[in-house]
Structure 1
């Protein structure tokens, strides 16, 4: 294994977990490197537009990561579509794949509408909303360790394995979402459904959680 590449990837992972930026010293301490080595790694990543410096000289993720992520998102959509189609048919509800855009927002990457429902929710992929509103965002927050001041609904989602919200993203629409499990614990992707009525939240929650687990298996 290449130590230099390994350390460079650790820097990128560290930056992704700290989108408000880090100093070179903080990066060196976070990765366990001498500051001079960390400085050289950052300069190399900057040259490839994978990180940048803000006006305070703090180092942040940069736009080059978006170009690298685009093929991954295409692959994620391809793998997720059959899972969401099966979930939509099983629940007769609109299903969605949501990804964490940054620390404050999530984005609907894929939306699948049911084929045999008389009435269903309709919205377009690409829409964003705050991470702390809506079942998708709360499910993603629940995949991370507890934080001071977090919504009680996040703790509840962490306990039961899925999040439920009512009218937080679309008025009169109930969302039920589960984070796609990862080996690292914290997830950046969720699977969910949007419905007008929720006669059995526990059953629908289990169904959504099973779909999220299936997608996790496909991604391995």
Structure 2
């Protein structure tokens, strides 16, 4: 561990991240093994986090996120929107389309931020809070494409993963064309965008046929820019 780090805090954060990604299946022994810790140390870390409401130990011994972590997540979404807003607004201006940031919530894709280009008379009004299944629309397909490859992935997800962006037309709104890319969120030792349950995509939508090449380039760049911000690069 590099100088300047607090070992106990570092271990606590690493354990909390494992719990967040564990979907309720990890017990103390599992956490100790994955972190290379003695079980007694893992137990004390879990107990400390539980005292602060960050984790809860279920009757079957599995460790899940507690109410304190949920509260942090609620505040984090607001911070995420503030951080992403300049990127989304720049994307709207660069493409002349309505730009958005979307997040996976269960099996749905939810718009958490939207921006419209200045000086454009006709555009799509993408309302924050709009919800639709992940399997429909460019934003949801992009999130699915950002996940690890699965044997049963549908063709649109495979294509989006290969291209780096999802392209749809008329799936959510008649005549609307959408382009979206996954936003990859990094964490030490993890190569996935599903960090602490957060999966994002950024993209644009327009009520006209888009010039896919430049628009997809702008969307992918926005995804890279936002990823860099979220990863602290």
Match of 1:108 in 2: 111
Match of 1:186 in 2: 192
Q: In structure 2, which of residues 194, 207, 216 is the aligned counterpart of residue 196 of structure 1? A: 207
Task: Please list the CA deviations of residues 74-116 of structure 1 after superposition, one character each: whole Å capped at 9, or x if unmatched.
Answer: 33322322222222123222111123345x3443221112333
**Which secondary structure does the structure 1 equivalent of 2:113 belong to?**
strand
Checking the alignment, whether the CA contact within 8 Å between 2:142 and 2:201 is kept in structure 1 is: yes
Aligned partners of 1:22 and 1:42: how far apart in 2? 12
**Which secondary structure does the structure 1 equivalent of 2:181 belong to?**
strand
Checking the alignment, whether the CA contact within 8 Å between 2:27 and 2:63 is kept in structure 1 is: yes
TM-score by length of 1: 0.84
Q: In structure 2, which of residues 27, 32, 50 is the aligned counterpart of residue 23 of structure 1? A: 27
Name structure 1 gaps, 5 residues minimum.
none
**Which secondary structure does the structure 1 equivalent of 2:103 belong to?**
strand
Q: In structure 1, which of residues 210, 216, 219 is the aligned counterpart of residue 221 of structure 2? A: 210
Match of 1:136 in 2: 139
Match of 1:120 in 2: 123
Task: Please list the CA deviations of residues 99-143 of structure 1 after superposition, one character each: whole Å capped at 9, or x if unmatched.
Answer: 3345x3443221112333332222322334333433223223323
1:153 aligns with 2:156: yes
Q: In structure 1, which of residues 84, 90, 111 is the aligned counterpart of residue 88 of structure 2? A: 84
Segment of structure 1 superposing worse, 160-169 or 42-51 = 160-169
Checking the alignment, whether the CA contact within 8 Å between 2:87 and 2:225 is kept in structure 1 is: yes
Match of 2:196 in 1: none
**Which secondary structure does the structure 2 equivalent of 1:177 belong to?**
strand
Segment of structure 1 superposing worse, 112-121 or 41-50 = 112-121
Aligned partners of 1:96 and 1:122: how far apart in 2? 10
Aligned partners of 1:155 and 1:108: how far apart in 2? 23
Moved over 6 A (4+): none
1:36 aligns with 2:40: yes
Aligned partners of 1:131 and 1:167: how far apart in 2? 15
1:5 aligns with 2:16: no
Task: Please list the CA deviations of residues 135-165 of structure 1 after superposition, one character each: whole Å capped at 9, or x if unmatched.
Answer: 2232233233212212222222221111123
**Which secondary structure does the structure 1 equivalent of 2:53 belong to?**
coil
TM-score by length of 2: 0.80
